[in-house]
Chain A
Amino acid sequence: MSEAAAHGDDHGHGDHDHLPFLAHHFDDPEQQYDSGKLGMWLFLVTEILFFSGMFCAYALYRSIHPEVWTFASQYLNATLGAINTGVLLFSSLTMAWGVRCAQLRQRTGLVVCLAMTLGCASMFLGVKAIEYTHKWELGLLPAGSYESQYLHTSIHHGISDWLYVLSAVPALCVVGFTVWYGYCLSKGQKENSEVAGSLLVTALCYFAGVGLGIFLESGGDHGGDHGGAHAAEHSTDHGDGHDDHGHAEDAHEHEGDPGHSEHGDDEKHSVLNPNANVVFVSTEVEETSVFKPGAASEKQVDQRGGAGLFFSIYYCMTGVHAIHILAGMGVLTWLLVRATRDHFNEQYFGPVDYVGLYWHIVDLIWIYLFPLLYLIK
């Protein structure tokens, strides 16, 4: 047994064909492939069910508090979301292409496809980092730490400190992979240099994503929109003119606008006691919920129990999705290493196929997240 563990797949086998990739307990490659495929599909089912909890939470709270969704989704930058959608879709294409390459034993093609997939994943995370840090600066945080936007005083320009923190690891990766790449080239290690080069590109793609994000997140300052963005009633049609700009900008720019100061004043009491609605007043019993569809005003939704809840769900869904991207990058790297060593061929391409399936599901989940969070007002 320990032998099996030590030698892994590539060990000779007793009484059947000596296929280096065939595990001992399978009769033939077909059985091995089918098992892996079924296993992967089952795993994907668990993944979908894993996300289903959050989709349920989304559906539940959206149906109870539709006005919160209307209000809060304006702070999401649909352009960045759309770019990320495109990036992920493209990565699905390269992944599928990679599977094809593996089946045809096109080693170089497979390496290039995997590297491109990794690069897209990395760029996705770069854009995500911009989106997240921007929101953190504005206090658009999960319910417990959400800061009401009309009260928010810290004006956020361009790059957040958090971005430096998040980018530390990719930056280290760039340095590390550059050194490794140079070392491999100098030693003439072809396979390792392919891996190192791909990973270097991957790490750089993160910064490409960040750059793109910075440009788009801070580029769209149109002063004329502000009044509309901060009107007391955010009706469903109001956001139409804003889709392609960072709406969060509207909110904080607004603070400096003296013309709206009286607006802030009358809302102050609800800020000081943002949870007033849940304090039990013993002398009367009201059975009504605070948020009646259509009856809520902005100050009622722009608080922890309103928009904060939206951002809780936003961070949970996109955060867990981002973790899946990271996990996917891990297995893609593993595939990349094996691909450079030419492990895959016409009879044995299972791992590429399985990771491909996983990557498509991660993509698919984003395809649902994007409209649900960014587009539907």
Chain B
Amino acid sequence: MPALPTLLADINETYWFPPKASTFAEETDAFFMVIMWISLVFFVGIVIAMGYFAMKFRRRPGYKGDSSALHNNTLEITWTVIPTIIVIYIFYRGAVGYLDMVNPPEGDTIDINVTAQKWNWQFQYPNGAIDDELHIPENRNIRLRMRSIDVLHAFYVPAFRAKTDVVPGRVTTMWFQPTKKGDYDLFCAEYCGDDHSKMIKRQGVHVLNDDDYEKYLAKAVKAPDHPIAKGYWLWDKRGCKACHSLKPGETLQGPSFAGSYGNMVQLYGGGEVEFDDQYIQESIYDPQAKARGGYENASAMPSFVGQLSLDDVQSITAFLKEMGKEDFYNLVADDDGLSEDDKKALGISDADVAAAGSGEAEVGDDGSSDEENAAEAPDGDEAA
């Protein structure tokens, strides 16, 4: 309820709009307010006329209205022509703004490939780096080339006033020029199923200055060397984490990875199979072949053929295998790239990190990597 008085009284731009963070924002918002004022003039006029007539000509003793037909062509033409002129203006200004929004300036754009799938976004940068959040430099023209691998989605960043559908079977493009450093929300605006409302990147669009952007690119492109760390890195960047938690027992869309390795998995339609290297590879490349029981209603996992190499799959296998073991924390936790959220997601406490740190020298004897030693691991993680 407290919103209502504010709504009616406080008609100003900061109330109505998200932050202005692209070149489109200024014009779009100004135009929005122009239409607002035109509409308000008409609306207030209509309501006042309505109220005034209802009072002045109301049925009451001593008043006798005239029921005869009135007709006035001048009036009719006036209220046909004036709105026509106004809508022609609105159409024109809208079309001009639109052409600006859909046609990127020639040359000098940063092209980023966007892949949308239920329910995650993935961004591929010009240098090949892949990430699930969007990092872009300010004051540069960004062009997105977007594909969907399953259903319709729409890329929508309110702060940029930019939105375009992502249509399977097509490549749609959009562009914008961010003007303000900061972190902005990314929404999926086209209904895409169960977790449509979770297909958002909260503060996940990062507008950086040029230096930070270059640093980011350099860092993002390099996968950690250690297979376990790389497995975690892939889980984090390639969309696994949208559906598979690392917390024991937490079900997002698919089952949690925690403690899976080596267990028996109940299959949909009966039977069971061991969660081993073979099963992991099969589940990544042909997810429906041995779908897990109890997840029939979860959306079908897409195949990652062409997206994850055999090497990647081996890393993920190593990661799943070693999850929860001591060196695992060492490899993934002791890292400046690991945010508090990630730590929480992994169930890592500071004590774990400390314990892992103290045991740093002992890693390497688990057989997962012959070359592994205490000095290399942090390097790999820094790159992540």
Interface residue ranges, A against B (CB under 8 Å): 278-283, 285, 287
Which of A278, A282, A283 has the most chain B CB atoms closer than 10 A to its own CB? A282
Residues of A within 8 A of B169 (CB): 278
A287 to B113, CA, bound (A): 12
Residues of B within 8 A of A278 (CB): 169
A285 to B147, CA, bound (A): 9
Give min CB distance, B64 to chain A, whole Å.
Answer: 42
A285-B113, A285-B145 in contact; A280/B171 too (CB < 8 A)? no
A282 & B115 in contact (Cβ 8 Å cutoff): yes
Assess whether B61 is interfacial by the CB under 8 Å rule.
no
Residues of A within 8 A of B303 (CB): 279
Assess whether B207 is interfacial by the CB under 8 Å rule.
no
A279 & B171 in contact (Cβ 8 Å cutoff): no
A279 & B306 in contact (Cβ 8 Å cutoff): yes
B171 & A285 in contact (Cβ 8 Å cutoff): yes
Give min CB distance, A233 to chain B, whole Å.
Answer: 26
Which residues 290-305 of B have a CB within 8 angstroms of A? 303, 305
Given contacts A282-B115, A282-B130, 8 further A-B contacts (CB under 8 A): A278-B169, A279-B303, A279-B305, A280-B307, A282-B113, A282-B306, A282-B307, A285-B145
Assess whether B128 is interfacial by the CB under 8 Å rule.
yes
Give min CB distance, A342 to chain B, whole Å.
Answer: 55
Give min CB distance, B116 to chain A, whole Å.
Answer: 10
Binding site secondary structure of chain A: loop
What are some 20 contacts across the A-B interface (CB < 8 A)?
Answer: A278-B169, A279-B303, A279-B305, A279-B306, A280-B115, A280-B149, A280-B306, A280-B307, A281-B306, A282-B113, A282-B115, A282-B122, A282-B124, A282-B130, A282-B306, A283-B124, A283-B128, A285-B147, A287-B145, A287-B171
Give min CB distance, A270 to chain B, whole Å.
Answer: 15
Residues of B within 8 A of A285 (CB): 113, 145, 147, 171
Q: Closest A-chain residue to B111, C-beta based?
A: A285
Which residues 226-261 of B have a CB within 8 angstroms of A? none
Q: Closest A-chain residue to B169, C-beta based?
A: A278
A287 to B115, CA, bound (A): 14
A285 to B169, CA, bound (A): 13
Q: Closest A-chain residue to B305, C-beta based?
A: A279
User: What is the 8 Å Cβ interface bit string for chain B, positions 105-133, against chain A (1 contact, 0 not)?
Assistant: 00000000101000000101000101000
Residues of A within 8 A of B171 (CB): 285, 287
Q: Closest B-chain residue to A287, C-beta based?
A: B171
Q: Closest A-chain residue to B147, C-beta based?
A: A280
Residues of B within 8 A of A279 (CB): 303, 305-306
Q: Closest A-chain residue to B302, C-beta based?
A: A280
Residues of A within 8 A of B122 (CB): 282
A281 to B308, CA, bound (A): 10
Residues of A within 8 A of B305 (CB): 279
A281 to B303, CA, bound (A): 12
Q: Closest B-chain residue to A281, C-beta based?
A: B306
Q: Closest A-chain residue to B145, C-beta based?
A: A285
Give min CB distance, A35 to chain B, whole Å.
Answer: 32
Which 6 pairs across A and B sit closest by C-beta, in order of nearness? Answer: A281-B306, A280-B149, A287-B171, A282-B307, A285-B113, A285-B145
Give min CB distance, A239 to chain B, whole Å.
Answer: 30
Which residues 303-320 of B have a CB within 8 angstroms of A? 303, 305-307
Which of A278, A280, A287 has the most chain B CB atoms closer than 10 A to its own CB? A280
User: What is the 8 Å Cβ interface bit string for chain B, positions 302-342, against chain A (1 contact, 0 not)?
Assistant: 01011100000000000000000000000000000000000
A210 to B10, CA, bound (A): 78
Give min CB distance, B77 to chain A, whole Å.
Answer: 35
Give min CB distance, B130 to chain A, whole Å.
Answer: 7
A113 to B145, CA, bound (A): 64
Give min CB distance, A312 to chain B, whole Å.
Answer: 15
Which residues 128-175 of B have a CB within 8 angstroms of A? 128, 130, 145, 147, 149, 169, 171
Residues of A within 8 A of B306 (CB): 279-282
A281 to B124, CA, bound (A): 12
A282 to B124, CA, bound (A): 8
Give min CB distance, B103 to chain A, whole Å.
Answer: 16
